[in-house]
Amino acid sequence: MHRVLLGLLAASILTVAKEDIIVFHAGSLAVPFAKIEKAFEAKYPQYDVKREPSGSRTAARKVSELKRPCDVVASADYKVIDNLLIPKDARFNAQFATNEMAIAYTPHSKFASQINVKNWPEILLKQGVKTGHSNPNVDPCGYRAVLVAQLAEQYYRKPGFFKALLGYGAYYKAGEAQKSTIVVRPKETDLLALLEAHAIDYLFIYKSVAQQHGLKYLTLPEAISLKSKTYDAAYQKAHFKITGKKPGSYLLKKGGAMIYGVTIPQNASSPAHPEGAVAFVKFLLSPEGEKIMRESGQGSISPALITGDATLLKAD
């Protein structure tokens, strides 16, 4: 009995001694980061990773506007870090992963047996079809969905397609979506349940997320999928405004190859646990972290392209 009590006491002390690492990350990173959390904690049992998924812009604003303690911010668009965190709330930006846009659906989606990579613009415009995308003002997947629709209009030579499908002006205003045909939620992963419940038929989403959830999906032509830097000049012909740092201000988002970014916030409240933050980011950028990202359906940038002052990461 005495030994059992001592064992329980030792386990309790170890549990209490664990140091939290607070990670705000894009919803599309939920699956790979869950795997990274498990592998990281196995290697560094002194840490307990606390993840909080959201739209990438929301994640950044939790730090820049709400001043919430945070150790790591990982965004589905590295430019979110540049635009909302650097230089006041972060010092560096590590570009570490890639992705591409796809259109997900289920066998129950209307016209599921007919849709293909050539006719999907016509299918999405058919009567009774509902399509989902995330909010462009809070989630990169949302403005990327808008950019893909614009690019598709040119690629498929369908004048008026963007207006017919989405109907937006220069930027998206809350409640502006055509509710009979378009459903908008804060982040792309919020729409998965609606798709699986057959409340919507199609969903603009990252290819990795569609794969992770076992959904049927269309792999779009690289000329419109935002996958490859080879097409950056073509991608940049599409553009859309999103809300800026200050109320009433806007940023112009142009099309570009999809690149994820990660940083360690540096302000009065962050990082809460600097040593743990550095260890987590180094693990994410390591060959083991890269492997997990690839196995989760995303490309890795190896080595990561780091801009700004990354002195923190150089510390032993």
Whole-number average pLDDT of the chain: 92
Q: Is the pLDDT of residue 14 over 70?
A: no
What is the reported pLDDT for 285? 98
Backbone angles phi, psi at 17, to 5 degrees: -75, -15
| Cβ(138)–Cβ(58) below 8 Å | yes
What band does 8 get if pLDDT is binned at 50, 70 and 90? Answer: low
Above 60 in pLDDT, residue 237? yes
In the numeric block, the tokens 């540096």 are attached to 266
N-term to C-term CA, the chain: 43
Lowest mean pLDDT among 106-115, 266-275, 288-297: 266-275
pTM for this model (two decimals) = 0.89
Place of tokens 């792999």: 219
**Residues in Cβ contact with 148 at an 8 Å cutoff, skipping those fewer than 6 apart:** 101, 204, 220, 224, 225, 226, 238
For residue 5, pLDDT over 60 is answered with no
Share of the chain above pLDDT 90, in %: 84
d(CA 238, CA 234): 8
In sequence order, what are the beta bridge partners of 90?
265
Q: What average pLDDT does this structure show over 268-296?
A: 94
Residue 189 confidence (pLDDT):
78
Name, in order, each residue with C-beta under 8 angstroms of 157's C-beta and a sequence gap of 6 or more. Answer: none
Q: Please enumerate, as own/partner, the contacts of 83-89 that have beta carbons within 8 Å and a separation of 24 or more.
A: 83/244, 83/245, 83/251, 84/57, 84/60, 84/245, 85/60, 85/263, 85/265, 86/263, 86/308, 87/308, 88/64, 88/267, 89/63, 89/64, 89/265, 89/266, 89/267, 89/270
φ/ψ of residue 205, rounded to 5 = -155, 165
Distance, in Å, from the CA atom of 224 to the CA atom of 14, rounded to the nearest integer, reads 51
The two tokens of residue 175 are: 């409640």
Q: What is the arithmetic mean of pLDDT over 16-32?
A: 92
pLDDT tens string 181-201: 999 998 877 899 999 999 999
Q: Which of 9-13, 224-228, 250-254 is predicted with the least confidence, judged by mean pLDDT?
A: 9-13
The amino acid occupying position 205 is I
pLDDT higher than threshold 60 for residue 1: no
197, 199, 205, 206: CA torsion to nearest 10: 0
Q: Give the orientation angle of helix 287-295 with respect to helix 274-284, to 10 degrees.
A: 60
Nearest to 137 by CA among 248, 2, 213: 248
Read off the pLDDT of residues 106-154 as tens digits, 9 standing for 90 and up.
Answer: 999 999 999 999 999 999 999 999 999 999 999 999 999 999 999 999 9
pLDDT value, residue 13: 46
